[in-house]
Each structure stands twice: as structure tokens, then as C-alpha cells.
Structure 1
């Protein structure tokens, strides 16, 4: 068995969505004064590698804490879209070529290679994002979740969050953003785990995402 970590570290210097305050990691207790170390974490619920719940946009839709744990684990497939250039979109052609595997997967993860820009201004540029046709496929095939190695499933310019709204309006799919390391997995089905912090009325939460590969 091989485990691949798909999660960015949370730090005070990490990229955050424009307009969002970055996280704070304050040492609250020290070895010298208290005999142990403890850190006070202050951050928004959609910080770093994180998961969006349908309740992120719709008040009447489910929050992450109401989902059973099995929602966050399942069979996944990475789809390689790393040939896309800035401003280009992830279309159905990337799914059509591997439709049989894609249909078997519970999670579809799109590898764009954009995680290599993490920590630079280029990370906020014209990253690839999925079309509404791809969103329709995810809805109709009843996926548990969709993930990308970019900062959003919609372009930053789309203040209406069109793709988010389309996915969340009627389905209980989750959206995972800011993944990393998807290029290490290959093109076979594998077990994906993306476990969010469990807190009341969770509209979204940081996750520890991993891939489990059978060797």
C-alpha cells in the first residue's frame, strides 16, 4: 500500500482566496511557561486544502457535519488536464476518453498542475476550471465529490460562483479545492479520503486529503 498526501500545509504565509484574511497560528502555551506547547488557530472555514458543503451557498442545503463519514471516502480517479494553458477550460473531452473508469469513480479529481504555482501570484491567475457540461456529468453520475488543484472550481472573475451553484442546488456533492500532488497518482482508480474538521453548521472546512494506492 502507498499513501500520497494531497494536502497543502496551513501557514501564516499561505495563499488565501482574494479578500479573505490569512490564518493565524499563535503559540498560546509554551514548554518553558506551561510545560507543554499549544497553538491557537484562527482561520476561515475555506482555508487551504478544504471542502465546500452545499450549505456554502444555500441556507437550506446540507452542512458537512450532517453528512455520514462515508461521504468523504471512496473510489476516485485523477483526470490529467495539465496540458491546459492559462484561461482554458476543462471540457468533457477529458472525461470521454476514459468514460468507463470515470463512471466507476465516486470522486473525480482534475489534475491541472497548478499546485506548482502555490505561494506565488500566478496561483491566482487564469487557472483551468470545469465547464457547465462537466458539472452536468458530475450531477447526473451522482458523484460524491469533485476536486481540483486550483483555488476555486469557478474562475475568480465569476462572483456569482456559477459552477458552485449548479452543483449545490440539488445534489449533495462536495467540492474540494487547493489539492496538491495529484500528478503522483496516475490514471488508475484508487481510494480517496478527504476528512473535514467536524464542527456545527459547517459550510466548509479544511481537510486532510490522501490517496491510498495498492502496489
Structure 2
């Protein structure tokens, strides 16, 4: 068995969505003064590698704390879209190329290679994004979730969040953004664990996402 960490580390210098404040990690208790160390974490709920709930967009939809924990674990597939250039679209052909495995998977993760730009301004540029046809496939096949190695399922210029709205209006799905190390997973099915912080009315939360690869 092999475990791959799909999660970016949270730090005060990490990339955040444009207009969002960076996280603060303030040491408030120290070994010298208090005999132990304790850190006050201050950050937005959609910081770093994180998960969006339907309640992120719609106030009557499900928040992360109300999902059964089974929602966050399941069979997953990474689909390689790293041939796409800036502004490219992840079309249904990428799914059709691996249709049998895609149909079997509960989570579809798209590897664009954009994670290599993490920490640069280019990360917030015209990254590849899915089409509405791909969103329709995810909805119709009742997937538990979608994940990408980019900052959003929508393109950076779409202030209306069309794809977020489409996915969350029509199904109970979760969206994972800012994944990393997808290239280390390979092209086979694997077990994904993506566990969000459990707080009340969670519209989104940082996750610790891992891939569990059986011996192949």
C-alpha cells in the first residue's frame, strides 16, 4: 500500500484567492512562558486545499457538517489533462477516453499540471477548467465529488460561478480545489480520503486529502 498526500501546506505566505486575506498562524502560548505551545489559526474557510459544500452557493443546500462521513471517502480516478494550455477547456473527451474507469469512480479528479505554478502569480491566471458538458456528466452519474489542482472549478474571470451553481443546484456533490501531487497517483482507481474540518454550517473547509494506492 502507498499513501500520497494531495494537500498543500497551510502557511502565512501561501497563495490565496485574489481579494482574500492570507491565513495567520499566531503562537499564543509558548514553551518558555506556558510550558506548552499553542497556535491561534485565523483563515477563511476556502483556504488552501479545501472543499466547497453546496451551501457555499445556496443557503438552503447542505453544509459539510451535515454530510455523512461516507461522502468524503470513496473510489477515485485522476484524469490527466496536463496537455491543456492556458485557458484550455477540460471537455468530455477526457472522460470518454477512460469511460469505464470514470463510470466506476465516485470521485473524478482532473490533473491540469497547474499545481506547478503554486506560489506564483501565474497560478491565478487562465487555468484550464471543465465545461458544462463535464458538469452534466458528474451530475448524471451521481458522483460524490470533483477535484482539481487549480483554485476554482470555474474560470478566474467568471464572477457568476456558473459551474459551481450548476453542480450545487442539481446534486449533492462536493468540490475540491487546490489539490496537489496528482501526478504521483497514476491512472488507476484508488481510494480517496478527503476529510474537511467539522464546524457548524460549514460552507467550505480545509481538507487533508490523501490517495491510498493498493499494490499494483
Please tell me whether residue 193 in structure 1 is matched to residue 193 in structure 2: yes
SS across alignment from 1:15: coil
> Which residue of structure 2 aligns with residue 8 of structure 1?
8
> Which residue of structure 1 aligns with residue 40 of structure 2?
40
- TM-score of the pair, normalised by structure 2: 0.99
> Which residue of structure 2 aligns with residue 74 of structure 1?
74
Deviations 1:77-129 (A, max 9, x none): 00000000001110001000110100000000000110010000010011000
| 1:157-172 paired onto structure 2 within 5 Å | 157-172=157-172
Deviations 1:43-80 (A, max 9, x none): 00000000000000000000000000000000000000
SS across alignment from 1:126: coil
- CA distance in structure 1 between the aligned counterparts of 2:58 and 2:201, rounded to whole angstroms: 12
- CA distance in structure 1 between the aligned counterparts of 2:21 and 2:170, rounded to whole angstroms: 30
> Which residue of structure 1 aligns with residue 203 of structure 2?
203
- CA distance in structure 2 between the aligned counterparts of 1:201 and 1:25, rounded to whole angstroms: 23
Deviation at 1:156, TM superposition (A): 1.1
- TM-score of the pair, normalised by structure 1: 1.00
> Which residue of structure 2 aligns with residue 140 of structure 1?
140
- CA distance in structure 1 between the aligned counterparts of 2:128 and 2:74, rounded to whole angstroms: 25
> Which residue of structure 1 aligns with residue 30 of structure 2?
30
SS across alignment from 1:95: helix
Deviation at 1:211, TM superposition (A): 0.1
The runs of at least 4 consecutive aligned structure 1 residues that moved more than 2 Å come to: none
> Which residue of structure 1 aligns with residue 60 of structure 2?
60
Structure 1 unaligned regions, length at least 5: none
Alpha-carbon RMSD: 0.4
